[in-house]
Amino acid sequence: MDGDSADVTSTSRPPAAPPETSFPDVSSPAVPSPEIETALVAYRSLQRRRIVVLASLLALLSVTFVINLALGPARLGVDDIFRALLGQGDAGAQTIIWRLRLPYAVMAVLTGLALGLAGAEMQTILDNPLASPFTLGLSAAAAFGASLAIILDWRLPFPFLSGEGAVAANAFLFAIGSSLALDAVARLRGSATNTVVMFGIALVFTFQACVALLQFIASEDALQDLIFWTMGSVTRATWPKIGALFVACVIVAPFSLRSAWALTALRLGEDRAASMGVDVRRVRLASLMRISVLAAIAVAFSGTIGFVGLVAPHIARRLVGEDHRAYLPAAALSGCLIMSGATLASRNLVPGQVLPVGIVTALVGIPFFLGVVLRRPAS
Amino acid sequence: MREAIQDSLTAGPLTISYGRRRILDGVTVGPLPPGSITALLGANGSGKSTLLRALAGLKAADGAISLGDIPLGALAPPERARYCAYMPQTLPPPIRMQTLETVLVAMRTDNRSRKSNHIAQALKILSDLGIASLAHHYLDELSGGQRQLAGLAQALARSPRVLLLDEPLSALDLRHQLEVMDLLRDETASRGMITIIVLHDLGVALRRSDQAILLAEGHVVSAGPVNQVVTPEHLRRAFGVEARIEISSDGRPMLLVDGVA
């Protein structure tokens, strides 16, 4: 937790020697040293508590992940699953694990991670607790892109894409386009956060109207497809998609963590952060780029899953506070956990049916959310 | 302590416009010597906050700003943060972070000393401000005044050479206002800081600051020792009020405002 090494600010040496002004009386502080000891202990235990919370989230996630592999219509024993994972044993079991359960489970975790992290950064840089990829139009734009492919059969001129791949590519294109538009507005208006939020809301309504228009003219079959797409599902997971999302997460997450200090400073107020040497504009734009990539890919592959990006940050804030070194991982893990639990429920709630995960996410996530948010802080 | 004049803060003439509107027009500041408190005075919209933001490097201005021979105005934000700490008028937001943590985050600009040292320094500041007991409280549990003190601690903890405060007393009760001003006096003197404070209370300015800069409509009405700046004639021009300066029974100057001019 004390990873103070990633210094986002210091670049070159100043032209003159840095100031030698430190506290003249640090050696004989007015605060008695037992008090400093106490505070030090309190601070360290706070950090430890955060690590424990993160570890617990990770442990819970592992449990839901394993249950995701274990539960399903076909009854597989633990040893069947292990053997299938190692590529041995019954071919049927291998197919179930490698084609169905494992991709769903992995996709759920990665989608949750991407949306949780994107939501957490978005709420920080826009200084708005209601910001998320869903509320600022990325999901709506993706749905419009998907509906263009599903209903009008309009697709990108990529010959190697067909069917679902084309739908995902369309969705991605529109999601990234809408976040580039958000980005452009942020640049244009000197990154005034309220303007960006208002513009995002305008995007939501615009794309919703466009989707409704397409739905109105759609054939019954296409409409069915589109509605299923917009409900969000991890059953479209394939290993190439998983690979793409995984690569995106692996590339983006370290940059997020590297900006943790700057983002934390931003929470103290924009001017305060700027006075601490944070290049607010650059931090905000870089963060918006990260959000765009994560959210656009996640939404393109899994459809509209609204709840995670909005709620995971709130859960994280309650659990570990807003030091972004802990808050960002906690939001990502909370997102994973919600998605993993939701996938579990979506596959097992109705026997023989896989419910769209978008429906279940809210139903599974809300008790968790209310439990954390409505709990009186222990003070 | 180095040569006083050599380490002084000088700025200007500074000109700042928002669109076609001129907020500051050829304002010069200083030289303000280390160890002194300067009150930045003026009516609403006179350009006080803009001038302070310009000195903090948050608002681009035409004109040079230098600390001794360091061209502050030309430094990149991270470099400048080593010298200047700025506290905006808005209170720190009620976020889910403990007071001590926020001070430590603010001190991250100074990477050289060890964390336990940081904690000792942060605690000293908090106890000087009388809020050591709030060190482990979350900001979203504090009152507005307590958060203002936390914000002040964040600025002071950075050990700046130039301390820029925009109405640091606005949310504080009477006793805390006096305590904060006394603390700023002591710290300014002992650290050799150049402290510039936007103040609304002319009485506080008169009694607790060394120099003053009085602004009206983006121009300097008067600048210099505070008792030469805060005069009936200047106040009439800057605020449009009739005021008297009397010597109170303790021998110190006292401001009496009689009415609108």
Is residue A22 in some structural domain?
Answer: no
Is residue A214 in some structural domain?
Answer: yes
Average pLDDT, chain A: 82
Is residue B243 in some structural domain?
Answer: no
List of chain A residues whose C-beta atoms are within 8 Å of the C-beta of residue B136: 39, 42, 46
Q: Summarize the confidence of residues A98-115 as an average pLDDT.
A: 91
Is residue A102 in some structural domain?
Answer: yes
Least confident window among A25-34, A130-139, A163-172, A263-272: A25-34
Is residue A215 in some structural domain?
Answer: yes
Per-residue DSSP letter, A31? S
B residues 191-250 near A, CB within 8 Å? 191-193
Quick one: pLDDT at residue A89?
77
Is residue B259 in some structural domain?
Answer: no
Q: Please report the number of interchain residue pairs, chain A to chain B, with beta-carbon separation below 8 angstroms.
A: 168
Q: Summarize the confidence of residues A153-181 as an average pLDDT.
A: 76
**CA of B150: which chain A residue's CA is closest?**
A268
List of chain B residues whose C-beta atoms are within 8 Å of the C-beta of residue A26: 117, 120-121, 124
**CA of B126: which chain A residue's CA is closest?**
A31
CB A224 within 8 A of CB A277: no
Name the residue among B214, B160, B212 with its Cα closest to residue B188: B160
Q: Summarize the confidence of residues A142-153 as an average pLDDT.
A: 84
**CA of B76: which chain A residue's CA is closest?**
A277
Quick one: pLDDT at residue A167?
80
CB A309 within 8 A of CB A245: no
B residues 76-115 near A, CB within 8 Å? 76-88, 90, 92-93, 95-98, 100-102, 105-106, 108-109, 111, 113, 115
Count of the separate structural domains present in chain A: 1
Domain, as residue range, for A215: 34-374
Residue A10 has pLDDT above 50, yes or no: no
Domain, as residue range, for B201: 5-230
Q: What's phi and psi for A163, nearest 5 deg? A: 50, -120
Count of the separate structural domains present in chain B: 1
- Who among B105, B111, B121 is closest to A26 (CB)? B121
Q: Confidence class of residue A192 from pLDDT cuts 50, 70 and 90?
A: low
| Termini Cα distance of chain A | 23
- Is A323 in contact with B105 (Cβ distance < 8 A)? yes
Is residue B221 in some structural domain?
Answer: yes
- Is A7 in contact with B132 (Cβ distance < 8 A)? no
Distances in Å between the alpha carbon of B174 and those of A114, A132, A148, B169? 50, 43, 65, 9
In the predicted model, residues of chain B with pLDDT beneath 50 are: 1-4, 110
Is residue A18 in some structural domain?
Answer: no
Q: What is the ipTM metric for this complex? A: 0.87
- Is A30 in contact with B124 (Cβ distance < 8 A)? yes
- Is A39 in contact with B135 (Cβ distance < 8 A)? yes
| Termini Cα distance of chain B | 45
Start-end of H helices in chain A: 33-70, 78-85, 91-95, 102-125, 138-151, 164-188, 193-217, 220-230, 239-258, 260-267, 270-275, 280-302, 307-320, 324-348, 357-374
Is residue B204 in some structural domain?
Answer: yes
**CA of B156: which chain A residue's CA is closest?**
A23
**For A237-267, how does the pLDDT look when each residue is reduced to its tens digit (9 = 90+)?**
888 889 989 999 999 999 999 999 999 999 9
Is residue B253 in some structural domain?
Answer: no
Residue A62 has pLDDT above 90, yes or no: yes
- Is A264 in contact with B138 (Cβ distance < 8 A)? no
CB A309 within 8 A of CB A139: no
Interface test with chain A among B7, B69, B105, B136, by most A beta carbons within 10 Å: B105
Interface test with chain A among B18, B59, B90, B97, by most A beta carbons within 10 Å: B97
Mention every residue, 6+ apart, whose C-beta is less than 8 A from residue A199. A181, A182, A185
Report d(CA B4, CA B119) in Å as an integer. Answer: 31
Residue A338 has pLDDT above 60, yes or no: yes
Q: Which long-range contacts (CB under 8 A, 24 or more apart) does B110-114 make?
A: B110/B82, B110/B158, B110/B159, B111/A4, B111/A7, B111/A10, B113/A22
Quick one: pLDDT at residue B6?
67
**B132: CATH:** 3.40.50.300
Quick one: pLDDT at residue A302?
84
Is residue A361 in some structural domain?
Answer: yes
Residue A20 has pLDDT above 70, yes or no: no
Quick one: pLDDT at residue B77?
83
Quick one: pLDDT at residue A6?
41
Q: Summarize the confidence of residues A302-311 as an average pLDDT.
A: 84
Q: Confidence class of residue A320 from pLDDT cuts 50, 70 and 90?
A: very high
Quick one: pLDDT at residue A378?
47
Residue A170 has pLDDT above 60, yes or no: yes
Is residue A27 in some structural domain?
Answer: no
- The alpha-carbon gap from B245 to the nearest alpha carbon of chain A, in Å, equals 36
**A55: CATH:** 1.10.3470.10
Is residue A170 in some structural domain?
Answer: yes
Provide the angle, in degrees to the nearest 10, between the axes of the packed helices A307-320 and A102-125. 70
Residue A11 has pLDDT above 80, yes or no: no
Quick one: pLDDT at residue A361?
84
Residue A115 has pLDDT above 70, yes or no: yes
pTM score, two decimals? 0.85
The amino acid at residue A215 is Q
Residue A269 has pLDDT above 60, yes or no: yes
- Who among B70, B98, B116 is closest to A46 (CB)? B98
Is residue B244 in some structural domain?
Answer: no
Q: Give CA torsion, residues B32, B33, B34, B36, to 10 deg.
A: -70
Quick one: pLDDT at residue A25?
41
Strand partners, B214: B41, B222
Quick one: pLDDT at residue A31?
55
Quick one: pLDDT at residue B231?
87
- The alpha-carbon gap from B228 to the nearest alpha carbon of chain A, in Å, equals 31
Is residue B173 in some structural domain?
Answer: yes
**For A193-242, how does the pLDDT look when each residue is reduced to its tens digit (9 = 90+)?**
778 888 889 999 999 999 999 888 888 888 888 888 788 777 778 888 89
